[in-house]
Amino acid sequence: MTTVTDKRQHYDTISKTCLTANVAYLFLHIFYLILFIIARVDILTYIDAAVIVIYLLFFWLLQKKKYYIYALCCGNLFFAFISVTTIMLGFNTGFHLYLIGLCVVSFFTSYFSKVKRISNSMIWVGLSVAIYLTLYFVTKFNAPYYTIEPWLEITLFTTHAIVVFVFVAGYMAVFVKYALSLERRILSESRTDELTQIGNRYSLYDYFDSEPDKSTKVLALFDIDDFKNINDRYGHVTGDFVLQRVAKIATDELKDGFVCRYGGEEFVVVLDDTLGDVLSRLEAFRQRIEEESFDFQEAKMHITVTIGAAKHVQGIELEKWVDLADDRMYIGKNSGKNRVVF
């Protein structure tokens, strides 16, 4: 499910990337303008001045959050500028290297666009390849319009090689950072119970695997007594409220332990018996639930829980450990409910 936070992060990434890129492109063209003026390449001086004005206008597009239009205009402007400068100054100036960077940007743009179609990126890649080959063959059989000095050719090629490497690395860094943040969020959500916002049974597996020393641990399994009657009498919305309140009380009362919803109305708590008597802490939690008034809309309820607890046994698997606690819990169920069996 896409949340408001997800959308904000998505558009924040797009906004920052586009703004940073536009500033970088603007300064790059100011650098070109200085070089063209020094080298007295008059036609390109005028063209580059016009391009600078266009990039200044692009800030208006970004302010209006027209990111797709910006990317489209930027891409076409690059194609035009690369073509003109390569024909006028020659292939060895390295303007064509930008076409490689544009391939990366096309996929980046496609990923962040509303319509995520890889075919759109492939069109840009195809255009880049076509323009690259066209410029190569045009300059191969035709002399450049301007004959420039070696220092300018070397400066331009070196600049383009550096810029394209930074260009590609920068876009990929942004993409990887965004992807990693999504990965962390998805992992977190897959380990969180949506209703109660505490861990689910998969988080229990992670906890079990991450604990190097379990010798002092006690696992307690508890469920809400006669929970089905609550759903049948008051409805599932009320039942959800009860589950949420029980989860909140459990995390408050047993905050030094690990608490998760194991499934349905069952919860698991893992406590460390070196931090206090586990039986008395579980008994205090049971009493707190018994004394709590669960008031929701027209329903006023008092509920109880039955708890089964088992100390860790060396080498035991998690499922077997839970089964041990489950056996004790059902002993409590069969002997009157609302009790702790350890």
pLDDT tens for 130-189 read: 999 999 999 999 999 999 999 999 999 999 999 889 888 887 888 888 788 878 888 878
Cα 25 from Cα 23, distance rounded (Å): 6
What domains can you pick out in the chain, each with its CATH number?
Answer: 4-190 (no CATH), 201-341 (3.30.70.270)
Q: What is the pLDDT of residue 130?
A: 92
* Ranges of the chain whose pLDDT falls below 50: 1-2, 4
Given this model, what pLDDT does residue 324 score?
96
Residue 198 belongs to what H/E stretch? none
3-class DSSP state of 217: strand
Sorted by sequence, the CB contacts under 8 Å of residue 63 that are 6+ apart come out as none
What pLDDT sits at residue 340?
95
| Residues 245, 161: Cα–Cα separation, whole Å | 61
pLDDT at 240: 94
Tell whether pTM > 0.75.
no
| CA dist., res. 259 & res. 267, Å (int) | 7
CB contact burial 289-320 (16+ within 10 A = b; e otherwise): beeeebebeeeebebebbbbbbbbeeeeebee
Kindly state the helix (H) or strand (E) to which residue 85 belongs, with its residue range: helix 67-89
Q: Of all helices (H) and strands (E), which one includes residue 294?
A: strand 294-296
Residue 59 is predicted with a pLDDT of: 93
Which structure tokens are listed for 276?
Answer: 């206090």
